Amino acid sequence: MNRGALAALLVVAGPLAVAACGDNGVGDERQGGATTVDDRSALAFTHFATNLTPDEIQQAQAGKGPFNFHWEPPQLGPLFNNDACAGCHSSNGRGLSQIGNEFDIDINGANSQSLIRCSLVDGTPDVPGGDVPAPGFGLQLHDHAIGALPQIHATLAWDEHPVLYGDNTMVMLRAPHLDIVTPDGNPLPSDILTSYRAAPAIIGLGLLEAVDDATLEALADPDDADGDGISGHINHVWDPVANATVVGRFGWKANAPNLRGQVAGAFAGDIGLSNKVFPETDGQRDVSDDQFDQTVFFASVIAVPAAGVRTAAAYRGRALFDDFGCTGCHIPTVVTGDHPIAELAHQTIHPYTDLLVHDMGDELTDSRRDFEATGREWRTPALWGIGLTQLVQSQATFLHDGRARTLEEAIIWHGGEAMAAREAFRTAAKQDRDALIEFLRTL
């Protein structure tokens, strides 16, 4: 089945599956299927899936502990970016585009909420197909340390430039500019590639994990066989648990295979905590095995809020979302497959993503490959909950590095495979642009 046919089938499946729960005219109100929570307040991202058993709720509550805990020495570090998972995912929402040593660990745990990946172009990777660690730095730069100097000092600034809409009104775009030096004041070696990334929201991750590989393979069209100008593909990555190359689906470039790998990597890389996937050389762990498993469960069952009530303008915006071509990558509806957490399995969900990586153009490139994703390629982010992003965290911004202060800016940054959709939006009448944004705010 080609991408277009599968997408059409999945879009049709949504309204049929959720009509009994009520809908907004397009059948996507219950964005997380039976797991959906009815809350569109500032606490919307803090709930567990509504169909969990009491024992599962207890397990999720247990995992909330290590997720929210502000770790201290000797477990913390010695190199880290933040001292808590919740430090970058406040209320389970997006982290701020904030990085640098001026954010002192002693001031309410206010550390960096973003990070910098790094690697070399040439050399031997640590895992098959992976990136080449930078000597002395690894695959992530750490701007905080315990009992020693951090690896780097980073200063973030913004470069702005104007873009005109079709009606000659102006929008100002900004791009991050990072000044990265070692503690002795020297710049990084010139052969080190870097990629600046902010923390995404963590709602609905277990549902995305439950979308089976066959669905993603059917959605993929790496050679643009259907001629629609969109050639999304799977990023095949290394799974440290299975010791095998598998389908990637998490992270800004789909560089993590599953939630176990994602949680393990975040504990180790972001906080400096050894764990059952990445233990010390003697087998010891900072995070106990029970804590690790509970945290994975917690991250798996954070609920997605129901879509908001739509005005006539928002209904029109939903139609324009199709007309402009946004659904070429932001697939509205998919159906989950089997999953160890039974409540996540076989759900009709509306994440507005295909979980594939796409060429987003030169303006968004980080010029650094990540497994099979090139510098220009990024994973399609899920849009469910995007309308609540700045309610959950008032200073939150959009895109992989937080450069977009508004949803309009985020759209205008699209390029590459999304250029046609971006231009349809940019050149549209203001009332149509406003209608599309109003629709997005209902997600």
CA distances from 415 to 195, 201, 424, 435, 437 (A): 18, 23, 12, 21, 18
pLDDT confidence of residue 23: 44
Give this prediction's pTM.
0.92
Structure confidence at residue 55 (pLDDT): 98
Instruction: Tokens for 219, please give them.
Output: 């959605």
Tell me the residue type at 362. Answer: D
Res. 292: pLDDT tops 70: yes
Whole-number Å distance between alpha carbons of 211 and 345: 9
Q: What is the pLDDT of residue 100?
A: 81
Please say whether the beta carbons of 324 and 412 come within 8 A: no
Place of tokens 């039974």: 342
Confidence of residue 124 (pLDDT cuts 50, 70, 90): very high
Expressed in angstroms, the distance from the first to the final Cα of the chain is 29
pLDDT at 12: 36
Name which of 340, 357, 174 is nearest 252 in CA terms.
357
pLDDT tens per residue across span 10-33: 443 333 233 333 345 568 999 999
Instruction: Tell me the chain's radius of gyration from C-alpha atoms.
Output: 21
Q: Domain residues of the chain, as ranges?
A: 3-440
pLDDT tens-place string over residues 235-266: 999 999 999 999 999 999 999 999 999 999 99
Q: Give the Cα separation of 118 and 369 in Å (integer).
A: 10
Predicted local confidence at residue 14, as pLDDT: 34
Structure tokens given for 240:
């440290």
Residue 53 pLDDT: 98
pLDDT single digits (tens) 148-168: 899 999 999 999 999 999 999
The share of the chain scoring above pLDDT 90, in percent, equals 91
pLDDT in tens, 373-407: 999 999 999 999 999 999 999 999 999 999 999 99
Question: Whole-number mean pLDDT of the chain?
Answer: 92
Q: For residue 87, what are the CA distances in angstroms to 105, 132, 210, 225, 265?
A: 11, 28, 27, 43, 16
Q: Is the pLDDT of residue 125 over 60?
A: yes
The pLDDT of residue 24: 55
Q: What was the pLDDT predicted at 425?
A: 98
Q: What is the pLDDT of residue 25?
A: 54
| Residue 298: closest CA among 25, 29, 62 | 62
Dist. CA 385–CA 392, nearest whole Å: 10
Q: Looking at the predicted structure, is the pLDDT value of residue 2 above 50?
A: no
d(CA 94, CA 96): 7
- Looking at residue 42, its pLDDT comes to 98
Q: What is the 3-state secondary structure (H, E, C) of 352-383?
A: CCCCCEEECCHHHCCCCCECCECCCEEECCCC
